[in-house]
């Protein structure tokens, strides 16, 4: 029996959803494989709910979502500031990883955007004790999102570290990009630095997008709405990710709904707060149902006539794959959502972007009424990434 260590890093729930999908495919191509996990909250709780096995050491992993929440402002989060704030927790994670590698024997280590682990392994390859390693990303490098010269200098340092960490990996290491080459900007990491897409194409295996479901099967499932308990009324599903950063958007959606209901009395709204928001903070007005954590949220997206969300990479990808009308609000000063996710959505002609700083309840209500139940045809995405990623891991074993 092969034993794998799977480290699900980054913020919120988007990455752990794809990690669980990859793990499921890997068990199909490699029956009997044993997977042990390291993850912080809320990914840790998601894995437990899904029946996965966490190592006891996972309780010592830093809460990266909390670090993101602490630097976030209303509808905004600067990714560079988050990196600075998260560094003490990342050092702790490296020590947890070191103890785990000393305690257990693994046949493969998988790291999904656990950048601190990647950097430690790059600088100290003996940490792996000869075990092969797969590293997963869905964006490459940062862009400055303000005119602050200190941020430009800091982003340059981050990108140079990226080149150093992933530029010269050992033979027993593989890089996976969960997406397409077009998702990587063609320009340079910075002045005098390599071109990002060329750098990626020379080092990464591009798997296409990782989804926890078959889009065609879900789209053709005529009974999904009834099984979820929804009636034949116009349905809006609002999702705010795995952190508490989206409170201002929650309030905006609820305030806008009263105007929507005045025009469309039968309409209903489901507000999915996620695991890190207090569902008692708002009193639900008529026609609004407030939920906490919802497993397999994509089924509710598929049942909806319209979705509203932040510009999270996973949520917007799922809505695109399901051909559901959706409105998305990129976090201001968040280089991944403002650049990478926005670019991907424009390329697939998917979703309608709005700016939370320029949108009040009347503007959102007007947009909802225009889009609710509208037929959409997005560019089809290349899914099957879980199968391709699992195939690479099978090869490494």
Q: What is the percent of the chain where pLDDT is above 90?
A: 66
Strand 235-239 with 34-39, pairing: unpaired
pLDDT of residue 110: 98
pTM above 0.85, yes or no: yes
Q: Decide if 279 contacts 273 (C-beta within 8 A).
A: yes
β-strand partners of 127: none
Give dist(CA 359, CA 328) in Å, integer.
12
Give dist(CA 314, CA 162) in Å, integer.
23
348: left (phi over 0), alpha (psi -120 to 50) or beta: alpha
pLDDT of residue 143: 84
pLDDT tens digits, residue range 175-209?
Answer: 999 999 999 999 999 988 999 999 999 999 999 99
Q: Which pairs with CB-CB distance under 8 Å and at least 24 residues apart come from 247-250?
A: 247/277, 247/281, 248/74, 248/75, 248/356, 249/75, 249/308, 249/310, 249/329, 249/356, 250/277, 250/282
Token duo for residue 258: 């009263």
Distance of CA 141 to the CA centre of its chain: 16
Does position 12 have pLDDT exceeding 80, yes or no? no
pLDDT mean over 283-303? 90
pLDDT tens digits, residue range 134-166?
Answer: 999 999 998 887 777 877 888 888 899 999 999
Token duo for residue 379: 């560019």
β-strand partners of 108: 4
**DSSP helix, strand, coil percent of the chain (3-state; round to 5):** 45, 15, 40
Token duo for residue 313: 């990479």
Does position 236 have pLDDT exceeding 80, yes or no? yes
Delineate the domains of the chain, giving CATH numbers in brackets.
3-209+383-396 (3.40.50.2000), 215-371 (3.40.50.2000)
pLDDT tens digits, residue range 62-108?
Answer: 877 776 666 667 666 666 677 777 778 889 999 999 999 999 999 99
For the chain, the first-to-last Cα distance in angstroms comes to: 11
pLDDT band for 242, please (50, 70, 90 cuts).
Answer: low
């Amino acid at each position: 029996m092969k034993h794998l260590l799977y480290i699900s890093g980054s913020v919120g729930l988007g990455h752990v959803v794809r990690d669980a999908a990859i793990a499921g495919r890997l068990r199909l191509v490699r029956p009997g494989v044993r997977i042990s996990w390291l993850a912080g909250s809320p990914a840790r709780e998601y894995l437990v709910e899904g029946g996965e096995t966490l190592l006891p050491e996972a309780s010592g992993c830093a809460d990266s979502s909390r670090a993101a929440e602490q630097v976030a402002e209303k509808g905004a989060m600067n990714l560079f500031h988050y990196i600075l704030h998260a560094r003490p927790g990342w050092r702790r994670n490296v020590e947890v990883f070191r103890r785990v590698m000393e305690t257990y024997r693994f046949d493969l280590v998988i790291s999904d955007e656990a950048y601190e682990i990647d950097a430690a392994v790059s600088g100290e390859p003996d940490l792996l004790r000869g075990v092969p390693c797969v590293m997963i990303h869905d964006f490459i490098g940062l862009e400055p999102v303000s005119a602050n010269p200190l941020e430009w200098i800091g982003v340059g340092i981050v990108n140079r570290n990226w080149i150093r960490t992933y530029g010269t990996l050992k033979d027993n290491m593989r890089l996976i990009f969960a997406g397409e080459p077009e998702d990587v900007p063609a320009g340079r990491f910075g002045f005098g630095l390599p071109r990002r897409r060329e750098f990626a194409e020379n080092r990464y295996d591009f798997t296409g997008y990782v989804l926890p479901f078959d889009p065609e099967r879900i789209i053709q499932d005529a009974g999904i709405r009834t099984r979820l308990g929804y009636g034949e009324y116009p349905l809006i599903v609002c999702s705010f990710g795995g952190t508490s950063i989206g409170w201002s958007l929650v309030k905006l959606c609820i305030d806008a709904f009263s105007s929507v209901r005045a025009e469309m009395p039968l309409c209903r709204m489901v507000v999915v707060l996620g695991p890190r928001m207090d569902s008692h903070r708002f009193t639900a007005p008529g026609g609004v149902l407030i939920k906490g954590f919802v497993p397999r949220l994509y089924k509710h997206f598929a049942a909806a006539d319209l979705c509203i969300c932040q510009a999270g990479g996973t949520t917007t990808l799922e809505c695109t794959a399901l051909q559901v009308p959706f409105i998305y609000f990129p976090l201001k000063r968040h280089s991944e959502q403002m650049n990478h996710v926005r670019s991907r959505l424009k390329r697939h002609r998917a979703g309608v972007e709005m700016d939370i700083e320029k949108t009040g309840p009347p503007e959102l209500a007007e947009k909802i009424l225009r889009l609710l139940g509208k037929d959409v045809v997005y560019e089809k995405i290349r899914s099957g990434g879980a199968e391709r990623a699992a195939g690479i891991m099978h090869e490494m074993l």
